[in-house]
Structure formats: structure tokens, C-alpha cells
Amino acid sequence: MSTCGAPVGGVALADADAGNQAVIQGTVTRDGQPLASAYARLLSASDDFVGEVVTGPEGTFRFFAADGDWKVRVLASKGFTGEFAVTAEVGKVIDIQVQA
């Protein structure tokens, strides 16, 4: 059970169509298998917290963001923390593959 209040993720990434939005999404895996219950946090370029989701059974997460520079911080079991700088742009999908 999550104590941070983040909703469980598990979006179908194949369905991503940015349209008129900027999409930041990814998949968290460990040993080649999807990793559920990892946390993906969206932070502004100045490290301000924006949002958080929990990966579902497919290990996936997705954020809709404004144009500009962002950070995605992934926290997973066994002490894993990874941070990824991305630049979002309306009409584009940024895809992050995380090996935890």
C-alpha cells in the first residue's frame, strides 16, 4: 500500500498520441522485466515537485507537461534512484527507458 497518495499508474504507452500536448512517459524494468510499484516523479528544472505516479504491472508511467525543461526522478525497490533531464515540446512524446 502506498503511503504518499500517488495513484497507481500502468498506462498503455502504445496509445500515446501527443496531439496538442507534451508527453513525458517511460517504462521501468529490472532484469528485463517490467517493474510495478516504482515511483516516477515529475520535477521542474529547478527541482520543484510537480507530480508523482506509481508504475503499474507493465512498469509504465506518463506525464503531460508544458513546453520546457523537466526532470523525471524514478525511485524503485532495492534503493534505486535515477534522474533524467528532458525537454518537453507540444506535439512530441518523450520516452524514457529506465533500468532499475
**Residues 80-94 pLDDT 10s:** 999 999 999 999 999
The amino acid at 88:
A
**pLDDT for the residue numbered 1:** 39
pLDDT < 70 regions, the chain: 1-18
**pLDDT for the residue numbered 51:** 97
Q: What is the pTM of this model?
A: 0.82
Reported as type and span, the H/E element at residue 63 is strand 60-65
**Bridge partners, 26 (sequence order):** 61, 96
Ordered domains of the chain (ranges, CATH): 13-99 (2.60.40.10)
Q: What is the DSSP track for 1-42? A: --SS-PPB----GGG---TTSEEEEEEEEETTEE-TT-EEEE
**pLDDT for the residue numbered 21:** 86
What cell numbers appear for 7 in the block?
495513484
**pLDDT for the residue numbered 79:** 97
**pLDDT for the residue numbered 2:** 42
Q: Are the C-beta atoms of 95 and 25 separated by less than 8 Å?
A: yes
